Structure 1
Amino acid sequence: MGEIYEDLELWYPKLRLIEAGAEFFVAGPKAGEKYNGKLGYPCVSDLAIEACEAHSFDGLLVPGGFMPDKLRRDPKVLQLVRDFDAAQKPIAAICHGGWIPISAGVYRGVRVTGSPGIKDDLVNAGAIFEDASVVVDGHHVSSRRPDDLPDFCRHFIALLACPNL
């Protein structure tokens, strides 16, 4: 999590996952830091990214906004995504959130969707782009925009519940 995240793309999945019985932690550059969304809704991080290890979590959510463009430059963020990918743990990215898995190098050969604004980035990273409300390929879940959140959350929750499907 970082400054200028897409408010709905964090809060809708967070609340749906909690409703489904999941524990949800927000990681940012610093623990206990307040980050503002594009619409001004604040979020306080529970953990520092550098303290996170993939083996301690069941899945990873990457919301969009302008935040992914900054976090994709952080080697700790990229390594965390690579660790989730290597462990075949669910990685869910929506809208511009796809920038982070792109920079981590985990989308080559993976069917994904994302904001039309990053379609070229996805394709150039070796992903197979599909214009759909949600695309699931193995342990990867992706969506295009806030309007896709119901489908996105339904598939992410199902993947977390039964990761071997």
Structure 2
Amino acid sequence: MKRIAVIITDMFQDVEYQQPADAFRKAGHDIVNVGISAGSVVKGEYGTHVQIDKAVRDVSADDFDALFIPGGYSPDKLRIDADAVRFAKEFFTKKKPVFAICHAAQLLITAQVLKGRRVTGWMSLVQDIKNAGAEYVDAEVVVDGNLVSSRKPADIPAFIRESLTMLQ
């Protein structure tokens, strides 16, 4: 069983959180919702509510086996928080698995961890990903070292499959 941090705040894309989180739990992994304020409740674009278990300022990558970043507007909101950026960057420094879907690349761009990587993400981020020094790949899922990335909700089955493979 692995302990997976989910970094999340308001306006996350509901199915991009729910389906992978449910699949990780079903596979026996522990999900810890990490956000700006412990105990707060964040709301997805379509009304899903998620309680934050831990404040990002109080955790480090050492506390977890992997990081999951759902898409939606959440990564853009998180990228202005220095602790969220630090936390995401730590997973790359420590070469721990990172699962990033849709707009998740925004947080990774700000963390400056994409240079030289092969990455996919939402179509509006193609140029941002390239500007960050990464090779953009238009595919349902891209695995590059410790990073699993996908573009959109339709890619969730492939995203879950590759993420679970990396957790084995």
Structure 2 length-normalised TM: 0.94
**1:72-115 deviations in Å (ceiling 9; x for gaps):** 11111111111110110011110001100111000000000000
**Aligned equivalent of 2:68:** 61
Matched, 1:28 2:35: yes
Which consecutive residues of structure 1, in runs of 5 or more, have no partner in the other structure?
Answer: none
Tell me, in whole angstroms, the C-alpha distance in 2 between the residues paired with 1:54 and 1:6.
Answer: 23
SS in 1 for 2:138: coil
Which structure dedicates a bigger proportion of its chain to strand?
Answer: 2
Matched, 1:154 2:167: no
**Aligned equivalent of 1:12:** 19
The number of equivalent residue pairs is 161
**Aligned equivalent of 1:74:** 81
Tell me, in whole angstroms, the C-alpha distance in 2 between the residues paired with 1:70 and 1:41.
Answer: 17
**1:2-27 deviations in Å (ceiling 9; x for gaps):** 11110011111110000011000110
Tell me, in whole angstroms, the C-alpha distance in 1 between the residues paired with 2:10 and 2:36.
Answer: 10
Instruction: Give me the identity figure in percent.
Output: 39
CA shift, 1:35, in A, is 0.6
**Aligned equivalent of 1:104:** 111
Which consecutive residues of structure 2, in runs of 5 or more, have no partner in the other structure?
Answer: 1-7
Runs of 4+ in 1 over 3 A off after TM superposition: none
**1:18-54 deviations in Å (ceiling 9; x for gaps):** 0011000110101111111000111111111111110
CA RMSD across the alignment: 0.7
